[in-house]
Amino acid sequence: MPSAVFPHAAVDEVLRTVLARNPGEPEFHQAVTEVLESIAPALVERPEYVEAGILERLVEPERQVLFRVPWTDDRNRVQVNRGFRVQFNSALGPYKGGLRFHPTVNLGIIKFLGFEQIFKNALTAQGIGGAKGGSDFDPHGKSDAEIMRFCQSFMDELYRHLGEHTDVPAGDIGVGAREIGYLFGRYRKITNRHESGMFTGKGVAWGGAEVRTEATGYGAVFFLEQMLQRRGQGLEGRRAIVSGAGNVALYAIEKLQQRGALPITASDSSGYVVDESGIDLALLKQIKEVERGRVSDYAARRPSARFVAGGSVWDVPGELALPCATQNELDGAAAATLIRNGLVAVVEGANMPCTPDAVDAFRGARVLFAPGKAANAGGVATSALEMSQNASRQRWTFSDSEQRLQAIIVAVHDQAFEAAERYGAPGDYVVGANTASFVKVADAMLAQGVI
Ligand code: NDP
Ligand code: 2IT
């Protein structure tokens, strides 16, 4: 029988190796530490996971591709960016996960995102493995022609690693409908195949799925609704503090409004806006989706709003917090401010937006906390629905697709909730989401042998 120290010693050993083997990758260390530190109860119950080296294998990507992306800008100068695709784990299905184009992208960021994706995808129960990719290319301020040339060069290398049964990318920060169009077009040209299922997030007119655009933000709000319902509460009339003004934030705001909540903020890398009368979503979408402008443009056109350059959106009081921009955007100090101001629930629309200090503070204050790998799983789950529709040449309606998304999120919520109870941490969705997903991946790896 394993001793009481058994799982902790095994976890410590793996964590030491991860730190030593992957220097200079703090976000990857953070993501691995959070998962491994919360799964001890599952390791006590199933010592064969440790004996079969599941932990050592899980933290090492199955394949990592790094490549040069040369392209020519509008002034005819050659630019060189770095491309990444980390194919982390395919025990449950083909590699699946987004592409991020942002100047802060490096291998450690892509590895943290790919690692999270393994567990998120397991929670969706859609038969998809985990991957992530991207580039340190910055789409801000580039012309459409530059974006197209960059995407084409990126795909000139990446195409050989993709395929509907191999690896299926989608969008993430800096990669939306425009970029996916250019990437998919180039893949189709190079391979001479109209292989719809090799990319998700496509335009609805050419193989994309209804609700994929809305799915991550909508799903995060469905998750929030489930958490509140378990406490006999609802969304109606609650002030919501949302960060970001991209894909996830815009559709989280949309669903919050449909449910009668009052989202009053949005942000981007220049600062945040507060609109006490509630965000005018049509105006924000016009500025962000059509004009590709800044949140300050919103305040300039809306008398009830004010723009705060820099600063922290988490200084604004509200009962609900939805960080939907980027990793580590909400730290311990911001958490303390939110809690002082009457916070009830936090839902991570982004991947790992709350620092470990912030998560500890929410736990200590008994604030409802939904970790990203559960709360933002609606995006990739709807990507899997897009893959199903592509494979069967079907097209489902918006309302049918939204119902499927909601059913998946309810199931993700219930798995996390029930696993938390079963493993001795009732109400702790971090423990619940991590253990429920880890057990699924570990069982598949165990069954498939040492590969
Ligand atoms: P978008 O590119 O559409 O929007 C990102 C938003 O976050 C922008 O407002 C951007 O501002 C802001 N932002 C990004 N990086 C930073 C930064 N370093 N500092 C301050 N603000 C920043 O991306 P998404 O909405 O798609 O993604 C947001 C988050 O959600 C990411 O963590 C992503 O991984 C996660 N996610 C996305 C899914 C999807 O389906 N798209 C699915 C699941 C999770 P600016 O324009 O000024 O840079
Ligand atoms: O972080 C994520 O889950 C995404 N960016 C979406 C991935 C996908 O394949 O739809």
What does the alpha-carbon distance between residue 433 and residue 269 come to, in Å, rounded to a whole number?
30
- Residue 138 corresponds to which tokens in the numbers above? 């910055």
Distance from the alpha carbon of residue 376 to the mean position of ligand 1, in angstroms: 12
User: b/e for 284-296, b at 16 or more Cβ within 10 A?
Assistant: bbebbbeeebbbb
What does the alpha-carbon distance between residue 301 and residue 225 come to, in Å, rounded to a whole number?
32
What does the alpha-carbon distance between residue 58 and residue 43 come to, in Å, rounded to a whole number?
14
**Which residue CA neighbors atom 5 of ligand 1 most closely?**
246
Distance from the alpha carbon of residue 172 to the mean position of ligand 1, in angstroms: 7
Atom of ligand 1 nearest to the CA of 327: 32
Are the CB atoms for 133 and 97 separated by under 8 Å? yes
Roughly what angle, to the nearest 10 degrees, separates helices 26-38 and 107-124? Answer: 30
- Residue 35 corresponds to which tokens in the numbers above? 């998962």
Taking 70 as the pLDDT cut, the residues of the chain under it are 1-5
Distance from the alpha carbon of residue 96 to the mean position of ligand 2, in angstroms: 8
**Which residue CA neighbors atom 32 of ligand 1 most closely?**
350
User: From the centroid of its chain, how far is CA 77?
Assistant: 34
Judged by its nearest atom, the ligand closest to the C-alpha of residue 178 is 1
Q: Which burial class, exposed, middle or buried, applies to 324 when counting CB atoms under 10 A from its CB (0-12, 13-18, 19+)?
A: buried
pLDDT in tens, 71-128: 999 999 999 999 999 999 999 999 999 999 999 999 999 999 999 999 999 999 999 9
What does the alpha-carbon distance between residue 62 and residue 131 come to, in Å, rounded to a whole number?
10
Distance from the alpha carbon of residue 377 to the mean position of ligand 2, in angstroms: 8
The CATH code for residues 63-195 is 3.40.50.10860
Roughly what angle, to the nearest 10 degrees, separates helices 429-447 and 26-38? Answer: 90
| pLDDT score, position 8 | 85
| pLDDT score, position 2 | 47
Judged by its nearest atom, the ligand closest to the C-alpha of residue 248 is 1
Same fold, 63-195 and 215-375: yes
- Residue 376 corresponds to which tokens in the numbers above? 């933002």
User: b/e for 195-204, b at 16 or more Cβ within 10 A?
Assistant: bbbbbbbbee
Mutate to test the pocket of ligand 1, among 100, 147, 248 (most ligand atoms within 8 A of CB): 248
Nearest to 3 by CA among 34, 43, 32, 38: 43
Are the CB atoms for 346 and 354 separated by under 8 Å? yes
| pLDDT score, position 1 | 43
What does the alpha-carbon distance between residue 418 and residue 440 come to, in Å, rounded to a whole number?
14
What does the alpha-carbon distance between residue 314 and residue 190 come to, in Å, rounded to a whole number?
46
Atom of ligand 1 nearest to the CA of 266: 9
End-to-end CA distance of the chain: 27
With a threshold of 0.85, does the pTM exceed it?
Answer: yes
Nearest to 368 by CA among 163, 201, 223: 223
Active site residue 285: no
HEC readout, 386-443: HHHHHHHCCCCCHHHHHHHHHHHHHHHHHHHHHHHHHCCCCCCHHHHHHHHHHHHHHH
What does the alpha-carbon distance between residue 82 and residue 90 come to, in Å, rounded to a whole number?
24
Nearest to 173 by CA among 50, 325, 396: 325
Distance from the alpha carbon of residue 42 to the mean position of ligand 1, in angstroms: 33
**Which residue CA neighbors atom 4 of ligand 2 most closely?**
98
Please identify which residue in the block is written with the tokens 């697709």.
Answer: 401
**Domain assignments of the chain as residue spans, ordered by start:** 63-195, 215-375
What does the alpha-carbon distance between residue 148 and residue 164 come to, in Å, rounded to a whole number?
23
Q: How far is CA 314 from each of CA 243, 266, 303, rounded to the nearest angstrom?
A: 8, 11, 22
What does the alpha-carbon distance between residue 275 and residue 302 come to, in Å, rounded to a whole number?
8
CATH class of the domain comprising 215-375? alpha beta
Distance from the alpha carbon of residue 172 to the mean position of ligand 2, in angstroms: 6
Distance from the alpha carbon of residue 349 to the mean position of ligand 1, in angstroms: 9
The set of protein residues with a Cβ atom below 6 angstroms from ligand 1 is 102, 104, 171-174, 176, 216, 244-249, 268-269, 324-326, 349-351, 376, 379
* Catalytic hit among 96, 111, 120, 132: 132
Are the CB atoms for 92 and 441 separated by under 8 Å? yes
pLDDT in tens, 158-193: 999 999 999 999 999 999 999 999 999 999 999 999
The set of protein residues with a Cβ atom below 6 angstroms from ligand 2 is 96-98, 117, 120, 170, 172, 200, 351, 379-380, 383
Mutate to test the pocket of ligand 2, among 213, 383, 387, 388 (most ligand atoms within 8 A of CB): 383
Q: Which residues pair with 67 in a beta bridge?
A: 83
Mutate to test the pocket of ligand 1, among 106, 173, 273, 307 (most ligand atoms within 8 A of CB): 173
Roughly what angle, to the nearest 10 degrees, separates helices 332-340 and 356-364? Answer: 30
Nearest to 221 by CA among 354, 435, 444, 370: 370
| pLDDT score, position 288 | 98
